[in-house]
Amino acid sequence: MRELTQTEAIDLVGRFEAEQEIPERMRADVRMLGSLLGQVLRESGSTGLYDDVERLRIATIQAYTDETPEAFARAASIADSFTVSRADEVARAFTAYFHLVNLAEEHQRVRILRERDGRPDREHATDSVAAAFMSLAAEVGDDTALERLQALRFHPVFTAHPTEARRRAVSSSIRRLATLLEEHDASLRNGADQRRAERRMLEEVDTLWRTAPLRPEKPSPTDEVRAVMAVFDETLYTAVPHVYRRVDDALQGPAAGGRAPIVRPFVRVGSWVGGDRDGNPFVTASVTRKAAKIASEHVLLGLERTTSRIGRTLTLDGTTTPPSDALLTLWQRLSAADEDAAADVAKRSPDEPHRRILLLVARKLRATREGDADLAYRDPEYFIADLRVVQDSLVQAGAPRQAYGHLQQLLWQVETYGFHLTELEVRQHSAVHAKVLAELDAGGARSAQTEEVLDVFRSVGFLQERYGPRAAGRYIVSFTQSADDLANVHRLARFAAGADGVVPVLDVIPLFETFADLQAAPRILAEIVEHPEFAARLEATGRRLEVMLGYSDSSKDVGPVAANLALYEAQAAIAAWARESGIELTLFHGRGGALGRGGGPANSAILAQPPHSVDGRFKLTEQGEVIFARYGDPAIAMRHIDQVAAAILLASAPSNEERNRAAAERYAPVAATMDEASRARFFSLVKAPGFAPWFARVTPMEEIGLLALGSRPARRGLSVESLEDLRAIPWVFAWTQARINLAGWFGLGSALEAVGDEPVLRRAYDDWPLFRTLIDNVAMSLAKADDRIARHYLELGDRDDLAALVRDEMALTRSWVIRVTGGDELLANKPVLQRAVKMRSPYVDALSLLQLRALRALRDTPEGAPVDPEQQRLLLLSVSGVAAGLQNTG
């Protein structure tokens, strides 16, 4: 097949871009950023690099649009023709391009949100807390709706699971480019120096190109903590109170800000970073203490600066705004504790009583941060009490706008974050507990592992004493398979405390992960609540209980379809047991970023939950690339929190609960058929003799473990002779890189074929939220897959039977999903998402072709021969690029 002329190439690219119907301003951003990258490549000093990148780009676009074997073969031959060093440069160029496209897409989202001032569009009319409240009130009445709003709880938990393929240095460069892109927009609006803005962006794109895309070594757990802190500093600290304010403004109208808010802080942030030691030997008790210290330093510094800033602006004269008696008493107490500072503040603010209080309070926060016990706050409740005195005094003095303005947002911040910022959670495997207890019961010398496990409990006690009881105390038991697995945690805590020590306050949380464990969950819970220490803690908390459900291992255990159905049934059974037992249940969803690990749009998943399984409370894990995608930009973070909180509120609406209940009952026979057929199909693949080594050969699974993504090891053992040895993240990540995405869809085609009734399945798609969510997630997963490229990965193995099984199921699933959703192609009913996927696909194809040539070379290396480091680096570069292009990893 001949190469296109320059005119033909320009026409091809123009037609391809026009077909995607990209919004004009976003199209202009993509073109500008792409042009800047092109200039950087031409100036890079690597002769012919820009031309080679363009050759491959045009060829993959032609192969994507023509869909002919000849066009695809030509693109593959170009990728194969490069030297390894040139392929390395080309892979870096495409990766940089994806970072810029992702930035342009994010910028477009932010632009639209700002134009709407954060309000949802007409298509998503109930997709905000304020709108959801009005909808709920129409069903249950204003008073009940207000009670539910004020009891609302959204609890994201950040984890350090290794799924963020970007280096922090790259992320920082992209954030600087985001700021420059906003300045460029302003220059277009205001007629400022547009050329200056573009020159600065060119400089930053050049920095991005010159920044090494791969981490030189794995981050330590402390590095991971600091990475999460960047999200807090840049967005969450201010974004969360702004969400509260926006909701209160919408519900109270013109009166908002002039009277007490009706919104109570409903976000709590948890963290496993520095606390999750399941399978990660680098997370020690010392690391857990350091993680808590770092988080506390960040939030205390934020609170100190905010308090000081508000204090400096609160220049209300004592005559116009007289202090209350309580405020004068507070001044006497604060000045007695900090005499020199009080004298200085009184001199600078002689008749500004509210200002003087906040300036001294800021000093107390500084003392708390620096560990000055004489002046420090004991815990955040004392700080909140002081702020309430100031607020009440302002209200009494006739200054409600000062009371409920910035001061209220400060109160919301400390009520949300305390002095600890994130509620640090510990996780450990049940088998580790059993092993340590067996050693302790036997007596004799204690091993290093035993001392480390016991030291974790001492660390939890220290953190509760130092930062308050909310700072730590949740203890998750991985692979909970019996009530004894949970009781063991309390036994270990007593061993750690010794005869005279204090046992920390613990909320022990079971994590049910496998299919069998999910089915046994209600029985195990019924047993453990009778345990004395468990029962005592239940009574102390008002019979509150958290239960965690693992999406990743259950999907790897029985396949994505059966796992989704099993998770729904488990939630329904646990929720029913909790209601019968008078327990306030919070289900903790261990969702990953990718679809094969329970990922996908959170709000639609929430609305598809069983009746009474949400009840105004939703907790889930957020990890890797998902953290930065959802919380990296303030406008997007506020919109995400608003959307999820709205779904939590609406999930318990009578109409939504009845819809889910009726659909589950009506389509129970369909679910049973799908469960049996999908599981049989999944087992025919993963239980086939030799499957695990074949999987490791046809995907870059082994090589992914070489990426310095996170401190946690990629697998539990040294071999991949069985899937049990492999963690869920590389299982999903590897299939994603091979453009197969098998973990997100395999078995669904056979399940739908077994049902066989297309009209019934279409009705189920309309009426059954769980089914609709499953189908929509699979549609997105398949849209990001590519059967032509997948075929080449599968050919790397020597098992034609397994390769044919995968290809046949992919084709069957695609066919059924299109028929169920309507239209003539995947995502036809979601045009915006479809455009986003199509826009990226040919560029991802280019990186996949480069990855294939590297993987093929590595697989052809004779046994015992040294691995070619250049080919290995090329493969790792392409892995990073494909992750950026597909916008998800594991």
- Contact criterion met (CB below 8 Å) for 475 and 459: no
| Maximal CA-CA distance, the chain | 88
Contacts of 103 (CB under 8 A, 6+ apart): 33, 174, 177, 178, 181
Element (H, E) at 156: strand 153-159
Query: H-type helices in 20-83, by residue range?
Result: 24-42, 49-66, 69-81
Element (H, E) at 476: strand 472-478
- Cα separations in angstroms, 404 against 257, 412, 413, 761: 5, 11, 13, 52
Contacts of 366 (CB under 8 A, 6+ apart): 304
Placement of tokens 């600087």 in the chain: 176
| Residue closest to 365 by CA, chosen among 309, 284, 292 | 309
Q: How far apart are CA 548 and CA 554, in angstroms?
A: 13
- Contact criterion met (CB below 8 Å) for 268 and 153: yes
Q: How far apart are CA 426 and CA 433, in angstroms?
A: 13
Within a 10 A sphere around the Cβ of 142, how many other Cβ atoms?
Answer: 12
Q: Residue 117 phi/psi, 5° resolution?
A: 55, 40
| Residue closest to 302 by CA, chosen among 194, 222, 400, 416 | 416
- Contact criterion met (CB below 8 Å) for 616 and 648: yes
498 Cα distance to chain centroid: 39
| Residue closest to 415 by CA, chosen among 466, 379, 451, 447 | 379
Q: How far apart are CA 199 and CA 263, in angstroms?
A: 45
What is the CA angle 306-312-315, rounded to 5?
Answer: 135
409 Cα distance to chain centroid: 25
Instruction: Give the chain's end-to-end CA distance (angstroms, integer).
Output: 37
Element (H, E) at 290: helix 285-313
Residues with a known catalytic role: 161, 556
Q: Which two tokens stand for residue 545?
A: 């209980």
| b (16+ CB within 10 A) / e for 674-712 | bbebbbebbeebbeeeebbebbbbbbbbebbbbbebbbb
Within a 10 A sphere around the Cβ of 387, how many other Cβ atoms?
Answer: 21
Q: Which two tokens stand for residue 666?
A: 């009506």
Q: How far apart are CA 544 and CA 563, in angstroms?
A: 27
- Cα separations in angstroms, 735 against 90, 707, 860, 889: 23, 16, 20, 9
